[in-house]
Amino acid sequence: MFSHERVWAAIDALASRHGLHTSKLARKAGLDATSFNKSKRVSRKGREHWPSTESISKILEVTGTTLKDFLRLIEPSGCLRRSMIPLIGIEEAASGKIFTEDGMPGEGPGRDAIEFPNVEQEKVFALAVTGDALSPLYRDGDILIVSPTASTRKGDRIVVCTTSGEILAQELKRRSAKTLEMTSLAKDQEDQVIPTEEIAWSARIMWARQ
């Protein structure tokens, strides 16, 4: 099962495999030394905090670990359950017409799907990036695994579709009842504040396949 507990256990196992504490692994990857502390994994109110896809990508890079090997650490038995999830393109997602009340793409004739490990308690779908719609963060041909049901916190990467059909991929800065604030990761772009009523849908980026 692709669960919160197993993902954190895999990070611990990866650090141990390379003779490192998780704090040293974080620093080696250019992250804050406390990024993987056990206190960061669950809030005082019991809310589960997941590691970001960016942080996982960085520790895989510095340790020379493939995604396939990391998935084996998540499920050592090699029996990680997988399922087919919907795959939609940027233009289809921008229309907003295909989504159901739970934020998932509805069933449609000839809709593509890809295989992905089961994600505990969360609904996910795949978003195919085309052109420079989400640049500079993601490029043409990238596949994003996103979840409209996953909880988000400051620093998470999210995809937002506005009611005008604009698709944005940025870092969450703050969410309130009236607005959503995002930090741009491009040096030449300013942070954005979007009124809640102008958001058609939003989803947390759980994984990126580049």
pTM listed for this prediction:
0.64
48 and 99 inside one domain: no
Confidence (pLDDT) at 190: 80
42 and 110 inside one domain: no
Over residues 91-134, the pLDDT tens digits come to 888 886 788 777 888 776 667 888 776 655 678 899 999 888 78
Confidence (pLDDT) at 2: 65
138 and 181 inside one domain: yes
106 and 50 inside one domain: no
Q: Which residues of the chain have pLDDT under 70?
A: 1-2, 76-82, 96, 108-110, 117-121, 185-188, 210
Confidence (pLDDT) at 193: 93
- Exposure class string for 165-202: b at 16+ Cβ within 10 A, else e: eebbbbbbeebeeeebbbbbeeeeeeebebeeeeebbb
| CATH at 122 | 2.10.109.10
Q: Which of 141, 131, 134 is nearest to 205 (CA)?
A: 134
Q: Which of 58, 42, 60, 59 is nearest to 50 (CA)?
A: 42
| CATH at 50 | 1.10.260.40
Q: In terms of residue numbers, what domain contains 23?
A: 4-74
Q: Give me the number of domains the chain comprises.
A: 2
Confidence (pLDDT) at 95: 80
133 and 204 inside one domain: yes
65 and 98 inside one domain: no
Tokens of 69: 């090997």
Number of helices (H) and strands (E) in the chain: give both, helices first.
5, 9
109 and 67 inside one domain: no
86 and 151 inside one domain: yes
Confidence (pLDDT) at 99: 82
